[in-house]
Amino acid sequence: MRVLVISDVHANLAALEAVLADAQGDYDAVWCLGDSVGYGPEPNECVTRIRELGAIAVVGNHDWAALSRMDVEDFNPVAKRAVLWTREQLSAENMAWLGSLPAQPLVQGAFTLTHGSPRDPVWEYILYPATAAANYASFATAFCLVGHTHIPMLYVQQPETERKVRSLAPVFGRRIALGGGWRIILNPGSVGQPRDNDPRSAYAILDTEAETWEARRVAYPIEVTQAHMRAAQLPERLINRLAFGW
C-alpha cells in the first residue's frame, strides 16, 4: 500500500491542494499526523478536504485547542489569536470530526502514528536524537510517524547499540529503504507552515510493503494563503513567516 503522509496542514488550503496535485493520486491511503487547523485561514476547507480523502488521522495540539480541550493561555499571543479565530470558524460537523480523532498513538501495521511523540502524543517535540532515543520504548512497532516540529527528519536507532540514535535529514525526491531491522522515527514535515527555512510544502510517500519512504517538497502560491490570512485579520507575524519557511 502506498500512503500519502501529511502533517501540520494548519488550515493552509493552497498548500494542501499543491501537495495533492503533486502526489497525483499516486497513493492508496492518506495518513494525517495532526494539526489540520490553527494558524491558517481555511480551517473548514482543509478539514473537509482531509475528510473527503478518507484520511486516517490523529489529533494535534492546535486541533485540541480549537476543540477547547485545553487552555489557550498555553499558547503564545499570536497562536492564541489564531486559535480563537479558528474556534469561531469551524462548522459543527468539522468540529465533531476533529473531536473524534484519537489523542493516543494509532497503530497501522508496522507503523505507529502520533502527532508529537509516542510517549507524549499531543505535546512533545522530537527535535533531537536524545529525545528520539527516549521514545523508542514507548512504541512497539518498527516505525513511528510523527509531526509537530514542522521539520522533515528521520531518527534511526542503530540495531547494534540500542541507545544510539542518529538524525538524518532527508534528500527530497529520493526514495530510501527503511528495512534492515532498524527502528526509525519519521517526520514528513509540515504541509502548511514549514519551519526548516524552506517555504515549500513538505510531505512524504510511504510504501508499507516495500518499506520505502520518499520525502518530497512542492511549491505552492504562498501569496494566496497570505491574502486570505490578511482578509481574516490573522496576525502579521504568522502571515510573514510562510514566506521564509520558518
Do the beta carbons of residue 43 and residue 16 sit within 8 Å? no
> Smallest distance from the beta carbon of 58 to Zn ion, in angstroms?
12
CA distance 153 to 21: 23
> Smallest distance from the beta carbon of 39 to Zn ion, in angstroms?
8
Look up residue 26 and give its three cell numbers. 499516486
Q: How far is CA 16 from the centre of its chain?
A: 11
Contact region with Zn ion (CB under 5 A), list: 32-40, 80-88, 137-145, 210-218: 32-40
Q: Residue 26: what residue type?
A: D
**Binds Zn ion by CB under 5 A, chosen from 17, 22, 35, 45:** 35
**Binds Zn ion by CB under 5 A, chosen from 3, 4, 8, 135:** 8
> Smallest distance from the beta carbon of 97 to Zn ion, in angstroms?
18
> Smallest distance from the beta carbon of 110 to Zn ion, in angstroms?
25
- Contact set for Zn ion, span 178-207 (CB under 5 A): none
CA distance 61 to 34: 8
* Closer of 34 and 183 to Zn ion (Cβ): 34
Do the beta carbons of residue 2 and residue 31 sit within 8 Å? no
Residue that has been written with the C-alpha cell 484520511 in this structure: 55
> Smallest distance from the beta carbon of 192 to Zn ion, in angstroms?
8
* Closer of 19 and 178 to Zn ion (Cβ): 19
Strands 2-6 and 29-32: parallel
Can residue 63 be called a binding residue for Zn ion (CB under 5 A)? no
Residue number closest to Zn ion, CB atom = 35
183-187, strands of its sheet edge to edge: 106-108, 111-113, 143-145, 183-187, 153-157, 165-168
Site of interaction with Zn ion (CB under 5 A): 8, 35
